[in-house]
């Protein structure tokens, strides 16, 4: 199994947790971990190597020249665009699983590598934006083609190379810079709209899946499946190491694998001063059930079981 992360040097501690979860839950398989990065310290490189070698697996670092990406819109960072370079960097690999740094692999994922991807570009999980009609109006394609999350993707690299998809996506991104909101994701969705496979939701579990009632009801059977048999958790927008954003309904998995790395990521505050005091007061009120600010805002394991029970009723 070829697994790919695209990061900068500062994100090494976070992918360390992700890699630990991957290796812990896929010990029976041979795994090549590819790190696409523009620069990495010797200390960070050694930490990752030691972790992977402990499981007798392989890690390869690919130093990326990202100057060809300078013309692209980088709402968050240039590193989001590294994924379109994967086919040309991993020239001897025909299929890989791309993972964002804020993911955890909490089950066996070998089934993903058995998917028949003939004439298909990607296999990915739906994004909550698939319910947003405006997104399809802006990108000018039919809602029936759906909208996926690009943070977790099985990529048919051979198909990408044969159809020069990296260049096609780049050209589309430059030509449509004003209308794209989620830069790489919007572009990948448009270009791959007719050549993608939809994966079960358990392979990319977003917090929004249970916050949106329409999604919860529309994909009830898949929500039940991901609650009973989660495989990949995606903390998109809710990094567990940021105290104020640590609201994912499967956040306790992060604590488990963070401890197992041997060099756990330390939690940090986003807020300071009076905003931090206000935040702490809100959390205390929420904890003692005095007031609730959002449904499932702090969903623990017991609440997940309640959701499961309601869905099965």
Using alpha carbons only, what angle is made at residue 33 by residues 237 and 209, rounded to the nearest 5 degrees? 30
> Is residue 84, in this structure, part of any structural domain at all?
yes
pLDDT tens, residue by residue, 169-195: 999 999 998 888 898 999 999 999 999
- Per the structure, the complete domain to which residue 149 belongs is given by 2-203
Query: 16 in a domain, yes or no?
Result: yes
In this model, does residue 3 exceed pLDDT 80? yes
80 domain residue, yes or no: yes
Closest CA to 99 of 14, 200, 198, 212: 14
Separation CA 231–CA 254 (nearest Å):
13
User: Going edge to edge, which strands form the sheet with 58-63?
Assistant: 58-63, 32-37, 2-6, 95-99, 148-156, 122-126, 196-198
In this structure, what CATH number is given to the domain that contains residue 141?
3.90.550.10
pLDDT (tens digit per residue) in 80-139: 899 999 999 999 999 999 999 999 999 999 999 999 999 999 999 999 999 999 999 999
Q: What is the pLDDT of residue 267?
A: 83
Instruction: Give the C-alpha separation, 95 to 292, whole Å.
Output: 45
Distance between CA 22 and CA 13 in Å, rounded?
A: 15
Is residue 255 situated within a structural domain? no
Counted domains in the chain:
1
- Residue 291 included in any domain: no
Distance (Å, whole) CA 21 – CA 34: 16
Residue 160 domain flag: yes
Residue whose pair of structure tokens reads 């050694």 in the numeric block: 46
**What pLDDT was estimated at residue 293?**
44
Q: For residues 250 and 103, is the Cβ–Cβ distance under 8 A?
A: no
**Has residue 268 been placed in a domain?**
no
> Is 263 part of any domain?
no
Cα–Cα distance list, 239 to 4, 144, 266 (Å):
19, 31, 12
Tens digits of per-residue pLDDT, 24-34?
A: 999 999 999 99
**DSSP track, 31-76:** -EEEEEES---HHHHHHHHHHHHHTT-EEEEEE---GGGTTS--SS
Q: Which residues contact 249 (CB under 8 A, 6 or more apart)?
A: 207, 210, 296, 299, 303, 304
Give the least confident one: 3-12, 118-127, 134-143, 267-276: 267-276
> pLDDT, tens digit, for every residue of 60-83?
999 998 888 887 866 567 888 999
Of 180, 162, 173, give the one whose Cα is nearest residue 81. 173
């Amino acid at each position: 199994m070829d697994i790919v992360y695209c990061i900068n040097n500062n994100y090494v501690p976070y992918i360390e947790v992700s890699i630990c979860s991957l290796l812990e839950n896929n010990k029976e398989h041979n795994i090549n971990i590819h790190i696409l990065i523009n620069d990495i310290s010797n200390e960070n490189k050694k930490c990752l190597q030691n972790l992977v070698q402990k499981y007798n697996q392989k890690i390869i670092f690919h130093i990326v020249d990202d100057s060809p990406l300078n013309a692209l819109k980088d709402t968050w960072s240039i590193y989001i665009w590294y994924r379109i370079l994967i086919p040309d960097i991993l020239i001897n690999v025909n299929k890989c699983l791309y993972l964002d740094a804020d993911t955890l692999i909490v089950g066996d994922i070998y089934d993903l590598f058995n998917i028949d991807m003939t004439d298909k570009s990607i296999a990915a999980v739906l994004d909550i934006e698939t319910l947003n009609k405006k997104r399809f109006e802006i990108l000018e394609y039919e809602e029936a083609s759906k909208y996926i999350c690009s943070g977790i993707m099985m990529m048919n690299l051979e198909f990408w190379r044969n159809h020069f998809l990296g260049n096609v996506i780049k050209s589309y991104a430059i030509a449509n810079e004003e209308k794209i909101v989620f830069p790489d994701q919007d572009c990948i969705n448009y270009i791959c709209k007719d050549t993608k496979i939809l994966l079960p939701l358990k392979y990319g579990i977003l917090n929004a899946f249970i916050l949106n009632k329409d999604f919860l009801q529309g994909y009830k059977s898949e929500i039940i499946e991901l609650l009973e048999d989660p495989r990949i958790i995606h903390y998109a927008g809710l990094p567990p190491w940021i105290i104020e954003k640590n609201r994912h309904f499967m956040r306790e998995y992060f604590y488990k694998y963070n401890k197992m790395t041997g060099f756990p990521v330390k939690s940090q505050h986003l807020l300071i001063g009076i905003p931090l005091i206000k935040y702490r007061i809100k959390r205390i009120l929420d904890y003692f059930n005095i007031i609730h600010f959002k449904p499932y805002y702090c969903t623990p394991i017991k609440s997940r079981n309640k959701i499961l029970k309601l869905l099965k009723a």
